[in-house]
Amino acid sequence: DMVNDPNGPRYIDGLYHLFFQHRRLPSYTEIAHATSPDLLHWTMAPRAVLEPDELYDDAGVWSGNSFELPDGRVGMAY
């Protein structure tokens, strides 16, 4: 596995959230998600936030960013 390109950090309800590229060798790159209460100890989410599901991203989902929507939800673009 390869982890790189941290992006879209957020602080929500006492937890830091970090999104990053995660390459599940040898298949594809996805946007993964980890959380931390203190920026030292991290827990990786069991599923990718964004993974390839269309022809245009079948080689992988690459760098993106997160943003807060007017209703408080977090949106992502890549």
pLDDT tens digits, one per residue of 16-44: 999 888 887 667 788 888 999 999 999 99
Q: What is the pLDDT of residue 16?
A: 96
Mark whether 5 is an active-site residue: yes
Residue bearing tokens 């006492």: 14
Q: How far apart are CA 45 and CA 27, in angstroms?
A: 19
User: Which residue in 1, 5, 57, 58 is the catalytic one?
Assistant: 5
The two three-digit tokens of residue 70, written as one number? 């007017």
**Single-letter amino acid, residue 38:** D
